[in-house]
Chain A
Amino acid sequence: MTFDWSVVWQHRDALGQATGMTVLLTVATMFIAVPCGIAVAVLRLYAWKPVGVLATAYVELFRNLPLILVVYWAFYVLPILTGLGLSPLATGVTALALNVTAYNAETFRAGINSIRRGQTEAAMALGMSRAQALRRVVVPQALRRILPVLASTWVSLFKDTSLVSVIAVSELAYVAMQIRAQSYRVLEMLTAMAVIYWLLGYPQAKLVDWMQRRFAVTE
């Protein structure tokens, strides 16, 4: 068997752009899924009961559906439901954000619950409202505590963005597969893809490890 690695170099521009798209998908998804995750967690913990039940239902639904199903669902059903003609990119981000928000909500809920009650009481004893105590005292501490979990979610998400290739978002997996289909260089393209995902994913994981040490709160 002979290898022809020139195919990778030949398509460097397309692969570079596709890598950029993968990063964009990850960043955009997290940008939505972190605040939304906090919101859903807070609703689950503190909102009026029926709202809390809805938030719980959302989390349990999307945590237990295969991501690829959500991607297809967003592609085929969402336009009918909303009447919007979303681009493949927007559809992909929506599907990913729906899934990751559910996971983040669980992470934040665990983080908020891990901050002991006395902290909220101390904040309220100063005259803060429950919302202020959450925002100024509980959530900042919870965020630091769950940073490692968010980090692994981030790295998983970075890889899971490849699933939106099924709806023709021109991210790394999709573009690499397209090149493979045209050039028949299966092993070269799969290897190139693996190398790019790994080279980008590994430093991210290390960076977050560093952040975790840097911002660790000791009691």
Chain B
Amino acid sequence: MSDARHEPVRTMATGATILRYRGVTKRYGNFEALAGVDLDVHAGEVVCLIGPSGSGKSTLLRCTNGLESIADGVIEFEGTVLPRDERMLRAVRQRMGMVFQSFELFPHLTARENVAEGPRTVLRMNTTDAGRRADAMLAKVGLADKAANHPAALSGGQQQRVAIARALAMEPDVMLFDEPTSALDPETIGEVLNVMKALADEGMTMVVVTHEMSFARRVGDWVAVFDAGRIVEQGPPQQIFDAPTTERTRDFLGHLGWTG
């Protein structure tokens, strides 16, 4: 490990450190999915993880809430090292909302029931209160009128907004988005990004794995560029998109046809 990696990776901090990654390493057999990742996420920040497919962005997100375990390094959440014990991990996951590329709404439940499920089962809230919270969250993502619909009766964009409401219903301290718009039709991407932008404006701390460069630029406070399991460059969006300092970043953005 080089010393450079352990230097402060951030010059400007906006708030308390919510997530702190140091030397995070993840292996699948011989394949190193994460090869020593250092990153900080501060309260109220939107951190966007970009880079080619298979570069480790999603893996880092999945390690963050313990869906995957790491081989080496540390992940700290709100000043505490992420526990390995399943029971303790559950308490941590309650405070992290996660949104998946493929929505993963529960198809046997209505939109309201989907959103109420976490508060009911995990927070042991009664049905009335959980339903009320679900309605409030659905209203927040603009889907109050779809509360009684099953996921199959919703468009992809609407399903993803319900999934965001479901995560918000746990009142998390940080939201993790794993390519939230990659499975969507182009015409519904905007509605999901708008909901995410509104969340960011409210001050929600967010880690977003995305291929939407304009979102990363417009909404992101900090952008990390991944390649082959490493962060090859990180900085404010202006730096990454207008004056990238590494060849890898320029290559990646060039492949996307990014012109600034």
Contacts and interface: CB of A to CB of B under 8 A. Distances in A.
B209 to A, nearest CB: 14
B117 A118 contact: no
Interface string A136-154: 1100110010000000000
A118 B108 contact: no
A176 to B, nearest CB: 43
A218 B108 CA distance: 8
A127 B170 contact: yes
Interface in A124-139: 124-130, 132, 136-137
B65 interface: yes
B252 interface: no
Given A121-B100, A141-B108, A132 B67 contact: no
B118 interface: yes
Contacts of B132: none
Contact of B170 (A121, A122, A126, A136): A126
Interface in B162-215: 163, 166-167, 170
B93 A217 contact: no
B82 to A, nearest CB: 14
Interface in A109-130: 118-119, 121-130
A219 interface: yes
B121 interface: yes
Contacts of B96: 125
In which size bucket is the chain A interface? 20 to 34
Given A118-B102, A136-B121, A218 B107 contact: yes
B72 interface: no
Contacts of B102: 118
B122 A122 contact: no
A127 B104 CA distance: 15
A213 to B, nearest CB: 14
Contacts of B163: 122
A127 B122 contact: yes
Given A125-B65, A126-B93, A127-B170, A132 B104 contact: no
Contacts of B105: 122
B1 to A, nearest CB: 30
A127 B86 CA distance: 10
Contact of B107 (A121, A128, A136, A219): A219
A122 B104 contact: yes
Contacts of B107: 141, 217-219
Contact of A217 (B86, B90, B108): B108
Nearest to B101: A118
A128 B122 contact: yes
Nearest to B95: A127
Contact of B106 (A119, A124, A130, A132): A119
Most chain B CB inside 10 Å of its own CB: which residue of A121, A141, A144: A121
B17 interface: no
Interface string B127-164: 00000000000000000000000111000000000010
Given A126-B93, A126-B94, A127-B90, A132 B121 contact: yes
Given A119-B104, A218-B107, A125 B90 contact: no
A119 B166 CA distance: 13
B90 A129 contact: yes
Given A137-B106, A217-B108, A128 B90 contact: yes
24 contacts: A121-B67, A122-B104, A122-B106, A124-B90, A125-B93, A126-B94, A126-B117, A126-B121, A126-B167, A127-B93, A127-B122, A127-B170, A128-B118, A128-B121, A129-B90, A132-B121, A132-B122, A136-B121, A137-B106, A137-B117, A217-B108, A217-B150, A218-B107, A219-B151
Interface of B: 65, 67, 86-87, 90-91, 93-94, 96-98, 100, 102, 104-108, 117-118, 121-122, 150-152, 163, 166-167, 170
List 9 A-B pairs, minimum CB-CB distance, nearest first: A127-B94, A122-B104, A126-B118, A125-B98, A218-B152, A127-B122, A118-B104, A127-B93, A217-B107
Interface of A: 118-119, 121-130, 132, 136-137, 140-141, 144, 217-219
Given A126-B94, A140-B108, 17 more contacts: A121-B100, A122-B105, A123-B117, A124-B67, A125-B93, A126-B118, A126-B121, A126-B122, A126-B166, A126-B167, A127-B90, A129-B90, A136-B121, A137-B106, A141-B106, A141-B107, A219-B152
